[in-house]
Amino acid sequence: MKIMNGKQPLRNRRGFTLVELLIIILILGILTMVALPVYISTVQTAQQATANANARALASAVQARATGTGVYDAVVADYAADMGGSIPTNPCTGNAGGYTISAISRTASVTALEGTNCGPWTPNQFTINR
Q: Where are the domains of the chain?
A: 16-129
CB of 111 closer than 8 Å to CB of 124: yes
Q: How far apart are CA 86 and CA 126, in angstroms?
A: 20
Classified as helix, coil or strand, 101 is: strand
For residue 8, pLDDT over 90 is answered with no
Q: 124: Cβ–Cβ under 8 A, 6 or more apart, which residues?
A: 52, 55, 56, 111, 112
40 touches 83 (CB < 8 A): no
Q: Is the pLDDT of residue 1 over 90?
A: no
For 99-115, the pLDDT digits (tens) are: 999 998 889 999 999 98
